[in-house]
Amino acid sequence: MNPLRAKELAEQLLAGDKRATARLITHVENREPNVEQALTKIYPHTGNAHLVGITGPPGAGKSTMTDKLIRLARAAGKKVGVVCVDPSSPFSGGAILGDRIRMQEHAADSEVFIRSIGTRGGQGGLSRSTQEVAMLLDASGYDLVILETAGVGQTELGILEVAHTIMVVLVPESGDDIQMMKAGILEIADILTVNKCDRQGADHVVKELRAMLELVDGKQAWKIPVLKTSAERGEGIKEVFTMMGEHREFLKNSGQIAQKRLHFAKTAILHIVRDVAALSVEDRLRSAKGLALLEEVSRRKIDPFTAAEKLFR
């Protein structure tokens, strides 16, 4: 893509052209040259959307929940963007595809935009792509942007880091794992839901989570709610939707939104810096001098730290 085309697509996106948005997302995903030109252009128009991250174990019903949340948001007159991020293995691809298809019934709704992004790009690439795709949807006028992923591992945390509000969806069966994931969940969740609450053990898990939160989270200004839902039956979803709005209000009223914005800005800058540094060093490694240095490192004549220092200056 040449820089002119990038700017043109950005203008079309700002004018509400869905196809331009879709193309720019693909360009971000593929790290197309000059996509920065488009992102630079749309950046001043970002900052209006509510970015909500949703995570939880596979099979917890995240996509069904998202589906129901889309309906509620649409009923409230909001435009909704959904980014399904799949950092994990293609081993679990089947189930995810099914979920996506379920959500596609919204595809006909011109005020809903659903897109999956996957494992292309290098390390940390998915967190950068997710943030940039969220920016595109934000600038494009989507009021609510849902970032859906699975798990709370390294890659997923990077993805969720770019959201205002993080919801973790659990199921009654998660009970056994709660001790293990305690740290991870409490560090990231703004809202907890126990989905499939018609199954055995739901009340017990809710109680356990609340007890845990009381212990650890006593002094926090935002009390993390633990909600019971059945996304399949549509139970408790209104409460979730309301709570999402309340968390946003809380961020605004407490002034924490400014902190979040600074954090997002820092994250965006660091994504860029890491990639630019790596690209420029990769470039230098392709030169005769760079190749000789690489050879020396591979022969253990020089260590990678010293080599990095030489290259980095």
One residue of 53, 57, 81, 236 binding its own copies per CB under 8 A? 57
CA nearest to 50, candidates 206, 211, 229, 250: 250
Look-up: residue for tokens 């560090």?
187
Residues in 240-269 that interact with its own copies by CB under 8 A: 258, 261-262, 264-266, 268-269
Q: Where are the alpha helices (DSSP H) in the chain?
A: 3-14, 18-29, 35-42, 62-75, 93-103, 125-139, 154-160, 178-188, 202-217, 237-254, 256-286, 288-298, 304-312
The contacts of residue 94 (CB under 8 Å, 6+ apart) are none
Count of C-beta atoms within a 10 Å radius of residue 76:
12
One residue of 2, 123, 220, 253 binding its own copies per CB under 8 A? 123
Residues in 67-86 that interact with its own copies by CB under 8 A: 86
Sign of the CA dihedral running 101, 103, 105, 108: negative
Query: Shortest distance, CB of residue 220 to its own copies, whole angstroms?
Result: 21
Residue 285 binds to its own copies (criterion: CB under 8 A): yes
Query: Shortest distance, CB of residue 181 to its own copies, whole angstroms?
Result: 4
User: Among 140-148, 170-178, 198-206, 227-235, which window interacts with its own copies (CB under 8 A)?
Assistant: 170-178
Q: How far apart are the first and last CA of the chain?
A: 31
Query: Shortest distance, CB of residue 280 to its own copies, whole angstroms?
Result: 9
Query: Shortest distance, CB of residue 238 to its own copies, whole angstroms?
Result: 27
One residue of 133, 157, 202, 209 binding its own copies per CB under 8 A? 157
| Site size toward its own copies, by CB under 8 A | 78
One residue of 75, 77, 89, 255 binding its own copies per CB under 8 A? 89
Q: Which is nearer to its own copies, 18 or 286 (CB)?
A: 286
Which tokens is 275 given?
């990639």
One residue of 34, 71, 121, 256 binding its own copies per CB under 8 A? 121
One residue of 7, 31, 78, 274 binding its own copies per CB under 8 A? 274
Query: Shortest distance, CB of residue 257 to its own copies, whole angstroms?
Result: 10
The contacts of residue 41 (CB under 8 Å, 6+ apart) are 6, 7, 10, 11, 14
User: Among 14-22, 63-71, 72-80, 270-278, which window interacts with its own copies (CB under 8 A)?
Assistant: 270-278
Do 121 and 271 meet the contact criterion of CB atoms below 8 Å apart?
Answer: no
Alpha-carbon distance of 208 to 102, in angstroms, equals: 32
Residues in 16-55 that interact with its own copies by CB under 8 A: 36, 39-40, 43-44, 46-47
Do 30 and 63 meet the contact criterion of CB atoms below 8 Å apart?
Answer: no
CA 18, chain centre distance (Å): 20
Query: Shortest distance, CB of residue 300 to its own copies, whole angstroms?
Result: 5
Query: Shortest distance, CB of residue 177 to its own copies, whole angstroms?
Result: 6
Residues in 126-145 that interact with its own copies by CB under 8 A: 126-127
Q: Which is nearer to its own copies, 92 or 220 (CB)?
A: 92
DSSP state of 230: B
Q: Which is nearer to its own copies, 72 or 185 (CB)?
A: 185
